[in-house]
Structure 1
């Protein structure tokens, strides 16, 4: 006779799958602009607005190592230099820190209260490229914060003069750099520009900006009073939403066809769009990008690049992004039925040569 256990085996109970919700990174917006354009006006506008968001604002001067040298805050109309975190009435917080940018941001996101956003203002002569590189693909910050966008404030009254004065782009003027790297350009002080008192109407100024950077969205403003929803949570560097720009890329390609031969060989900072209907080899495209941005094989100086790729042996749309010497190519979604599966790439930079770019991309299809 087989003995029977007195204890019954436990009943199997179905347990719902536990879904762990990852805490999304805090978006960081870099605010840049030429001297006197209105960066501080924009920051003060945000500091004093009743937006209901917890926004950390750091106003900085960045040295060679991109360390945070100081941070000044403005409470209402009076300014103060502080040595610790200061919380304003509308939920914004400001600070003075003596550490590196990475350490300062880590301190912010480790605070007890969850932040909605972080704003980082550069000096008027700063090139935003190093900041974009640190914030976009820095391993230390990847989980905690993410680069949301670069906002460039420009002075509508003086922009044409600034660009004209630095027409020799070999001097790498900051005004060109700041526009070239921008995701959003705030065309400020539009109230000071009219057909009566200006040789350059607003439409012409927007065309100058567009010629430098056709990817950027232009917002007109007076005293930088803008709808914050247009400058926060842009997700300009989020690969999962980059495919939303496909229509924009197609429009840029059509516009590019209208350019004259002189425009195509212009050596100043500008936007150039190319396309290739055949599928490309992933490894060849990766090598091609590295030859352009690392090896300078073709003599071009690329600041920014965005595109969508149709890759061999893959049913997924791949997105391409470049910020100076950094780049990523990632699959983002399935191609839709009936969608035109062609490669569309937009370059922003100097000495861009359309013929070389088209031919060298085409070589990636062989």
Structure 2
């Protein structure tokens, strides 16, 4: 690009910098996980939040509502406007050591206040009422310097009204446009298919439509959003610790047939490459795909495993010297991506690159051919 200032940001989750890791105080606490909850109005987002708060899970949870005026069924935070439009927040104490706040303006400010509290929370729920595209939130959570070491994005959960989802599917079939619910599915790590007690259709058919959009997503069925909380907490969908689960998802995606190559709908495609790849070429490939937008493809998410050539050598990522592993995880949400050195390949594993791309107007031939150019 001609002007580096115009480039979208790069998020890189790094191992210790070379030659020595930074010193950390023994008192330094691990980051608090944050779960983003999205979905159509009436799907059951607030029902899910209330259910979590009232369950006996022993966790102190902070709930943030990012649109003023939303009821969560317990107590509502008081909002006042400060001088110059600054946000003055009041955190409302709930049962079980939980807290709640409504955010009308600055989400970053709310999160910064939260992590500075003496009564440390175990987990954060961010209910994104009315927000169709969670991608801007992901950018904030990945890139904000003040939040980087204190908060880690755990997962994006989308709640779907199973009864009305069929109507959205039918409307979508003969239209070049698509309901925003499909956007939310594309970005989700977990979809809670709620209100299944009101559905007469085959639930398997509804789940197929969900996985046609996002083959990586975990679908959880529910009535009144009563779900196993293990499906909500500690998903680690964006970290290097959960590489085995990502491997299972990628293997599953291989069994999902590709959608029509030039269909206007959102779909999932899988890229495979046996040979090792050059990290710098992969970065250039991602930047062309996500930033330059040289084709009609609109990429929402990428997720995959990389087989890196020249591992155990120092590479430069975003101006930092990094000791790279030959097994790396790659994540991208809209225009922000990260590469996470994870571990070594085991002797029994078949080494190869596996990438799932979720987006609109995807072309498997273009994606496969262009990624093949990353070979070392």
Q: Shorter-chain TM-score: what band?
A: 0.7 to 0.9
Aligned to 2:33: 27
How much has 1:98 moved relative to structure 2?
5.3
What is the aligned counterpart of 1:322 among 332, 338, 346? Answer: 332
CA contact (8 A) 1:169 1:268 kept: no
Whole-Å separation in 2 of the counterparts to 1:357 and 1:286: 14
Equivalent position SS for 2:145:
coil
Confirm or deny: 8 A CA contact 2:65 2:103 kept in the other structure: no
> 1:304, 1:290 → 2: CA distance?
13
Distance apart, 1:298 and its partner CA: 2.9
1:74 deviates by: 2.6
| Residue 265 to residue 231, structure 1, CA distance change in 2 (3 Å) | same
Partner of 2:269: 272
- Structure 1 range deviating more: 310-319 or 272-281: 310-319
Q: How does 1:1-366 map onto structure 2 within 5 Å?
A: 20=26, 22-61=28-67, 69=68, 72-75=71-74, 80-83=76-79, 84-97=90-103, 99-167=105-173, 171=177, 173-194=179-200, 200-253=201-254, 255-256=255-256, 258-259=257-258, 263-314=260-311, 316-365=326-375
Q: 1:168 to 1:134 in 2, by over 3 A?
A: farther
Provide the rounded CA distance (Å) in 1 between the counterparts of 2:71 and 2:241.
Answer: 35
Q: Is the 8 A contact 2:32 2:122 kept in 1?
A: yes
Q: Are 1:52 and 1:91, in contact at CA under 8 Å, matched by a contact in 2? A: no
Structure 1 169/288 Cα, relative in aligned 2: closer, same or farther at 3 Å?
farther
Distance 2:61 2:39 in 1: 20
Unmatched 5+ residue regions in structure 2? Answer: 1-22, 80-89, 312-324
TM-score by length of 1: 0.85
For 2:93 and 2:45, how far apart are their aligned partners in 1? 21
8 Å CA contact retained: 1:298, 1:356: no
3-state SS of 2:260 partner:
helix
Distance 2:177 2:135 in 1: 16
Report how many residues are paired: 331
1:171 deviation in Å?
3.5
Contact 2:38 2:127 in 1 (8 A): yes
> Whose radius of gyration is greater, 1 or 2?
1
Unpaired segments ≥5 residues, structure 1: 1-16, 62-68, 195-199
Aligned residue for 1:3? Answer: none
Greater RCO (Cα-Cα under 8 Å, separation 6 or more): 2
After TM superposition, the score normalised by the length of structure 2 is 0.82
